[in-house]
Amino acid sequence: MTGGPILTAAQMRAAEQAAFDAGIDDYGLMETAGAAAAEIIWRVGHRRDALILCGPGNNGGDGYVIARILRDRGAPVRVAALGESRTVSGQRARAAWGGPVEDMMTAAPATQLVDALFGTGLTRGLDDAVAARLCALVGTAAVSHAIDLPSGVETDSGAILSAVPRFGTCIALGACKPAHMLQPAAGHSGRLVLADIGITVSSAVHRLGAPILSAPAADAHKYTRGLVAVVGGAMPGASLLASIAAAHSGAGSVRRFAVDRPIVGPHAVVNLRIEAPEGIGEALADERIDVVLVGPGLGRDADGRARLAAAMDAGHALVLDADALTLLGGEGARAIPAGAILTPHEGEFRRLFGDLPGSKIDRALVAARQSDAVVVYKGADSVVAAPDGRAAVATGASTWLSTAGTGDVLAGLCAGRLAATGDPIRAACEAVWLHGEAARRAGPAFVADDLLGALPAAIAARL
């Protein structure tokens, strides 16, 4: 399920220092990084004319290496700098380039633009004039590449420190950084490519990769595959969406407990009417139930609170979403049973955990530790975090997911995968990936119901 480690600026510096301590030469690493990036740029642009923008640090040194390699392959290359090189390796790379170096502020545009001004570790934005010039040069180029990170973004948070253009490609050196995954920085490049620079990297935080699923065993039946109970409420359509998603995601059986008259849905979902909220507790006493999902369409009145309390007291594995998270509030987060899956969007997250510091990854991990639960911090850059410090970041989700009911589908997927696997972090990661893949297959302008029809194909692709 992992698609490669994500390293903070400090972790990346530590990995590079470990390589230096093991005998790798600082300038040799720059040559390796520049060559890896140049190969990617060459495959895209070949002999198209290129302008390489070089900063005063080692990112600029990478740029000089790129320029030299592309020139040696026959591409018309110009270099424009933002001041003199300030590092020993950068000075060596500039000397090895040996060609003219223009002033970035007056350099003419080119078909290909390479931003090697500032990479990992930037803590303040570019001067307004420099940022404006960078945006202008990228805007006139047919092809644009950012080396390691677009200049003007903060590595660990993905914050925009100054005006940043949108690049066609961002070439991550050695490992992905949080800014490659997190918004708004992630939205400033069209494609992310990882360049291997020959150093060992590791992290408990990874990109979310495609899961490997398995078909039910030959002797499986509906109860061995997992029974999901969905606690309905004031908005029956939401709990029905979640129930159908759970049924499609691998659970053997789904029961939907409705307080009001059940609405029509698939016959495979067992709709059971509960006359009063207090009857939910008795209904959930069935030991065959593996997972209880509560929240979609629950309602926030006294009846909703009673149904939530019954679900949390039932002793089954839990998935808490939507109204359940709102009803819990800040102090209520302490009452969440260990091992639950929580699926908050930004507003629900803040109501539940407060205004935590740090990046979205940091906040998700703190919330997971505080609640002893797996947290699916939803958004265009969804983060799945576990109490033990593991996290996965999903990117590239369809913007059409910003419509009513899609969160209910995700909650149902989490419940179904939890029933099938018994592993909260694995279940949450699989659910987020399947949710995104179903959206991709559904195409544009879908509604939440359309995701349900795309789920079987999304799952089949991973068997």
Does 60 show up as a binding residue in the annotation? Answer: yes
Q: Is 120 annotated as a binding residue?
A: yes
Task: Provide the sign of the torsion angle of the four alpha carbons 344, 348, 353, 357, taken in this order.
Answer: positive
Q: Is 149 known as a binding-site position?
A: no
**Does 151 count as an annotated binding residue?**
yes
* Residue 98 assigned ligand-binding role: no
Q: Is 380 annotated as a binding residue?
A: yes
User: Binding residue per annotation — 125?
Assistant: yes
Return the closest-CA partner of residue 131 out of 183, 169, 82, 90: 82
Flag whether 63 is marked binding: no
345 is in an annotated binding site: yes
How many CA atoms, within 13 angstroms, populate the side-chain half-sphere of residue 179?
A: 31
**Does 379 appear as a known binding residue?**
yes
The reply, when asked if residue 122 is annotated as ligand binding, is: yes
Check the annotation: does 90 bind a ligand.
no
- Taking alpha carbons only, the member of 124, 56, 47 closest to residue 84 is 56
CB 119 within 8 A of CB 150: no
Q: Are 434 and 413 in contact (CB under 8 A)?
A: yes
3-state secondary structure of 350: helix
Tokens of 69: 């390699």
Annotated ligand binding at 304? The verdict is no
Place of tokens 């291997």: 196
* 19 labeled binding residue: no
Phi–psi pair at 356, nearest 5 degrees: -75, 150
Q: Is 62 annotated as a binding residue?
A: yes
453 is in an annotated binding site: no
What is the DSSP code (8-state) at residue 160? B
253 is in an annotated binding site: no
Please tell me whether 407 is known to bind a ligand. Answer: yes
395 is in an annotated binding site: no
Neighbours of 105 (CB within 10 A): 11
Q: Is the dihedral of CA 226, 429, 184, 371 positive or negative?
A: positive
Residue 61 annotated in ligand binding: yes
CA distance linking residue 272 with residue 257, whole number of Å: 5
Quickly list H helices, 249-376: 279-283, 302-313, 323-332, 346-353, 360-371
Residue 127 is assigned to a ligand binding site: no
d(CA 213, CA 86) in angstroms, rounded, equals 51
252 is an annotated ligand-binding site residue: no
CB atoms within 10 A of CB 124: 10
Q: Does residue 405 have a known ligand-binding role? A: no
The reply to whether 448 sits in an annotated binding site is no
Question: Is residue 137 classed as helix, strand or coil in its secondary structure?
Answer: helix
DSSP state of 176: B
Q: Which of 268, 304, 272, 305 is nearest to 286 (CA)?
A: 272
Is residue 449 part of an annotated ligand binding site?
no
Which residues are known binding-site members for (6S)-NADPHX? 58-62, 119-125, 148, 238, 297, 345, 408
Which residues are known binding-site members? 58-62, 115, 119-125, 148, 151, 238, 297, 345, 378-382, 407-408
Which residues are known binding-site members for AMP? 378-382, 407
Which residues are known binding-site members for K(+)? 59, 115, 151
